[in-house]
Amino acid sequence: MTVTEGRADAASAKAATLIEALPWLNRFHGQTVVIKYGGHAMAKQELRCAFAQDLVFLRYAGLRPVVVHGGGPQITEQLSRLGVETTFTAGLRVTTPEAMEVVRMVLSGQVNKDIVGLINRHGPFAVGLSGEDAATLTAIRKAAIVDGQPVDIGQVGEIVATDPGVIEALLADGRIPVISSVAAGRDGEVYNVNADTAAAALAVALGAAKLVVLTDVAGLYRDWPSSTEVISELTAAELTGLLPELSAGMIPKMEACLTAVRGGVPQAHVLDGRLSHAVLLEIFTDSGIGTMVLPGGEQP
């Protein structure tokens, strides 16, 4: 093969990739996509940069991306650095007022601004928000359940209301909203809320075309741990039947998918955030990756 032929083959492969994306560009042009960002996708610099590129590509392609993020490892690291003890009950971080100050600082002040900065290397697109801003997220205190009994775990919240007005205004202005998973309380307190849950609630409120949840596994496994076969697609009814068998880490992610599709979002996806450009691979290729949850199969 000559050098010229090699260049032609490479160019043809790029053209084929662009043509494969064409029907998806047409389908999702002007649509809102809510992406929950966290885990390993947030831990490595090359993956952080690729994620920022994905968002800017979506923006230029005519989609309206919205990012909702957590930051558990960063919170734990900062608490340790400050000598603040952190404990977990039923998988939830016990959030004292002292710990909440750190949660708020890390999520809204550090992690949020890091994401915004990476996106804005490509243009003035990203605007950082907290769920507290303009009452975007409102929560009430949530108890952990231990042996069937509620246990107070401090300023951990359950979302009870959303107001997407400020997000819609930013989207209309061509911006990429980046929202930290901190919520305001009607009692004047501030709450640490699950980012998967926050993303699902906002996807419903915004009438999103998709919810995308980035996680640390390839998707939902059919018979974990005996099999590593990923379920590519399932209905809400099928997922409901599987929920009791899932690992503790997957339950909030799959419950977020259920919340989204039950609330009118046509598709919800769980993707492997360890894969570079996972968001683009899911949205703009015929095969897609990860697990897709669709409405259907449940009793009215």
- Which residue type occupies 241? G
Query: What are the beta bridge partners of residue 46?
Result: none
Spatial neighbors of 195 by CB under 8 A, at least 6 apart, are 36, 38, 68, 69, 70, 181
Task: Check residue 268 and give its pLDDT.
Answer: 95
Task: Check residue 211 and give its pLDDT.
Answer: 97
Q: Under a CB-based contact definition with an 8 Å cutoff, are residues 272 and 290 in contact?
A: yes
Closest CA to 176 of 128, 120, 125: 125
CA 29 to chain centroid, in Å, comes to: 20
Hunting for tokens 């993707």 — which residue is that? 271
Task: Check residue 212 and give its pLDDT.
Answer: 96
Closest CA to 156 of 192, 196, 120: 192
Q: Under a CB-based contact definition with an 8 Å cutoff, are residues 28 and 253 in contact?
A: no
Measured CA to CA, the distance from residue 252 to residue 248 in angstroms comes to: 8
Measured CA to CA, the distance from residue 144 to residue 91 in angstroms comes to: 8
Measured CA to CA, the distance from residue 286 to residue 300 in angstroms comes to: 32
HSE-CB at 124 with a 13 A cutoff on CA atoms is 1
Rounded alpha-carbon distances, angstroms, from residue 215 to 47, 114, 132, 136, 164: 13, 19, 24, 24, 24
Task: Check residue 188 and give its pLDDT.
Answer: 87
- Which residue type occupies 182? V
This prediction has a pTM of 0.91
Angle at 72 between CA 49 and CA 68, to 5 degrees: 55
Rounded-to-10 torsion of CA 130, 132, 136, 139? 120
Task: Walk along the chain (300 residues) in steps of 10 and give the mean pLDDT of each run.
Answer: 60 68 82 90 87 95 96 91 87 90 94 96 97 96 88 93 98 98 92 95 97 88 72 89 81 92 95 89 77 77
Task: Check residue 7 and give its pLDDT.
Answer: 65
b/e burial code for range 227-250 (CB count within 10 A of at least 16 → b) = eeebbeebebeebbeeeeebeeeb
